[in-house]
């Protein structure tokens, strides 16, 4: 089979699998793994064997690390040095240490145990982010913290990119220590080279390129920078991905970061897909009957170790037990970057083929099981916390409080602002939030803020919601807002509700669910910006106010030209 036909076959299988997986809401990384398994040498049917394939797949990790570097520039890392930096580093170090220690006690070679610990310490940002968005938990405290730590894990994995190839040198302990020291010195040298090159050359270069106003030239320049940085670290005996990460960090400090990320995304996504296909080709189903029990045990070890480690460090940081367990359940899942570290270990001959199969399948099992843990994280965490109440009973919280005139669902940024306005106007209100920290902050602000979910029918009854004059839903999550509106309509159908929305589509959905008004933040910000511009252009204020009121009265329809139905993502 010639190379072009193999490439067509590869694309055909990939498109077919990805269509099916997206329709079933299964993470795309698993789809690419399945495509690689189908086209790999270990399964019946056609096999794709293109000599350049492995090289292209390796650049998937290069561009992934470059994108991560863009989001973690030096100022951002400094700003995150306390909570996320500390928790993310502690999670990776402790998880890797626990797994490596248990494997070493079981008789596994210390170097192999260390590599497996590093692989198991990674979590899947893709799976966590997608599942949280589907469940409406992306804006919750445990959701935000879990996703932030999972993304930061990719940064903490960078030292492993340096260590693993060195561990494959088969040197003695003294020589190995020297090799590690030399590798660290080269890493510092690479950082210095890229850092000063960025300071002296990158910003002027991109200013020169952007002056030409050519998207093609800009993309070529980005590719040049990424590959040049990767070549630099590769020639220093380090990994290609490490150089790309350093280049991303440097460009992340410039005003071109967002355009760079947009230009590189198509290359990153396609090449990363090829990388996962290459990992899928390594899976040998024929080897599974002999190793499935070890792979399953490894998957359970991965889930259990990370679950306990994350719970302990998050609980120690001050989060309530329920939130700590929910965060731990999110991060227990195995990660795509673990595959990248495993591939480097196999290439460096640190891990043999059979052990590689066990680790590969263990991470795969954990990713499948991790989806279930994320989906049911609230129910599982509630059982783990036990019957003890996390907060005082609702009746005790409401004791002595008058029937509120206004109910507020959510005491975040928007809910706090609404509460301040109501209090300043002398209007009685009662706010609810499911984040204990926000509840404490509301109490400190002198506002009647209680722990609870406004979508809870029992809570609405205890709060005498039917006697209120208005309910305001200010939560950031669209799914939670819809659920709250449904509960309010069922429990007190005559209570008028106004809501916060992210955009016009969310606004329309909330109004259809029963909201009297649903104000889209993005559109309102645009209206305020336009109104300010008109005032600066000396348009009479009365005309501007009338124009804005007309737009709101028509539910923002004058801003919508031609509705276009988007394909399901």
Cα–Cα distance for residue pair 321/308, rounded to 1 Å? 12
Give residue limits of the domains in the chain. 55-251+287-384, 394-559
Identify the DSSP state of 534. H
In the block, which residue shows the tokens 């005309």?
543
Contacts of 228 (CB under 8 A, 6+ apart): 247
Sheet holding 517-520, edge to edge: 449-451, 429-433, 406-409, 470-473, 497-501, 517-520
Tens digits of pLDDT across the chain (569 residues):
577 888 888 889 989 998 998 888 777 778 888 888 898 888 877 777 766 676 777 777 788 778 777 766 666 666 555 556 678 788 889 999 999 999 999 999 898 999 999 999 988 877 787 677 667 776 677 877 787 787 677 667 777 877 787 776 655 555 556 666 776 677 777 777 777 776 677 778 888 888 888 888 988 998 888 888 888 877 876 667 777 878 887 887 777 877 887 888 777 778 878 888 887 887 888 888 889 899 999 999 999 999 999 999 988 877 778 888 999 999 999 887 788 788 888 888 888 888 999 999 999 899 888 888 988 888 898 888 865 444 555 555 555 566 788 999 988 888 888 888 888 888 888 998 887 778 888 888 888 888 888 887 777 877 888 888 999 999 887 878 888 888 888 888 888 999 988 777 788 888 888 888 888 876 777 777 777 887 887 888 888 877 877 776 665 655 544 444 444 33
How many helices (H) and strands (E) would you count in the chain?
27, 6
CB atoms within 10 A of CB 511: 16
Q: According to the model, what pLDDT value does residue 72 have?
A: 65
Q: What is the pLDDT of residue 95?
A: 92
pLDDT at 82: 57
- Residue 493's closest CA among 501, 485, 503? 485
CB 518 within 8 A of CB 511: yes
Residue 196 CA to residue 528 CA, distance in Å, equals 42
Lookup: tokens for 336? 């795509």
| In this structure, CATH architecture of domain 394-559 | 3-Layer(aba) Sandwich (3.40)
Tokens of 286: 């024929």
3-class SS of residue 495: coil
């Amino acid at each position: 089979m010639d190379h072009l036909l193999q490439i067509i076959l590869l694309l055909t299988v990939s498109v077919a699998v990805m269509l099916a997986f997206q329709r079933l809401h299964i993470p795309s990384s698993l789809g690419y793994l399945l495509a690689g398994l189908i086209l790999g040498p270990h399964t019946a049917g056609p096999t794709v064997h293109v000599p350049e394939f492995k090289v292209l797949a390796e650049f998937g990790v290069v561009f992934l690390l470059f994108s991560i570097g863009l989001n973690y520039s030096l100022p951002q890392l400094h700003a995150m040095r306390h909570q996320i930096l500390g928790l993310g580093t502690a999670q990776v170090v402790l998880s890797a240490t626990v797994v490596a220690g248990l494997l070493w006690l079981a008789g596994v070679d210390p170097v192999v145990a260390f590599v497996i610990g590093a692989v198991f310490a990674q979590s899947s940002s893709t799976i966590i982010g997608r599942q949280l968005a589907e469940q409406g938990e992306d804006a919750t405290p445990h959701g935000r913290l879990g996703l932030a730590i999972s993304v930061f894990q990719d940064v903490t994995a960078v030292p492993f990119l340096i260590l693993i190839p060195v561990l494959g040198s088969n040197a003695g302990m003294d020589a190995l220590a020297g090799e590690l020291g030399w590798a660290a010195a080269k890493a510092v040298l690479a950082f210095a080279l890229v850092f000063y090159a960025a300071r002296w050359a990158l910003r002027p270069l991109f200013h020169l390129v952007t002056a030409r106003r050519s998207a093609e030239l800009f993309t070529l320049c980005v590719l040049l920078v990424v590959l040049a940085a990767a070549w630099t670290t590769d020639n220093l005996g380090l990994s290609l991905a490490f150089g790309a990460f350093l280049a991303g960090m440097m460009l992340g400090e410039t005003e071109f970061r967002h355009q760079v990320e947009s230009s590189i995304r198509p290359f990153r996504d396609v090449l990363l897909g090829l990388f996962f296909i290459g990992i899928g080709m390594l899976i040998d189903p024929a080897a599974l009957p002999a190793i499935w029990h070890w792979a399953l045990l490894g998957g359970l070890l991965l889930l259990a170790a990370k679950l306990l480690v994350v719970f302990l460090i998050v609980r120690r940081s001050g989060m309530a037990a329920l939130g700590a367990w929910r965060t731990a359940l999110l991060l227990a899942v195995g990660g795509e970057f673990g595959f990248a570290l495993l591939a480097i270990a196999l290439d460096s001959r640190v891990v043999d083929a059979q052990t590689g199969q066990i680790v590969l399948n263990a991470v795969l099992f954990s990713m499948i099981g991790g989806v279930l843990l994320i989906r049911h994280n609230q129910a599982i965490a509630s059982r783990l916390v036990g019957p003890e109440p996390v907060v005082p009973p609702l009746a005790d919280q409401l004791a002595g409080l008058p029937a509120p005139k206004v109910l507020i669902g959510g005491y975040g940024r928007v809910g706090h602002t609404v509460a301040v306005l109501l209090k300043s106007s002398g209007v009685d209100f009662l706010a609810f939030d499911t984040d204990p920290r926000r509840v404490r902050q509301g109490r400190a602000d002198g506002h009647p803020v209680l722990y609870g979910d406004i979508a809870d029918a029992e809570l609405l009854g205890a709060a005498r919601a039917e006697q209120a004059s208005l309910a305001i839903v200010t939560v950031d999550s669209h799914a939670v807002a819809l659920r709250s509106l449904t509960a309010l309509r069922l429990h007190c159908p005559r209570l008028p509700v106004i809501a916060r929305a992210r955009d016009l589509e969310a606004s329309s959905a909330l109004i259809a669910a029963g909201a009297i008004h649903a104000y889209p933040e993005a559109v309102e910000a645009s209206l305020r910006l336009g109104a300010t511009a008109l005032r600066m252009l000396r348009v009479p204020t009365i005309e501007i106010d009338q124009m804005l009121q007309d737009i709101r009265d028509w539910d923002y329809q004058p801003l919508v030209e031609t509705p276009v139905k988007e394909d399901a993502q």
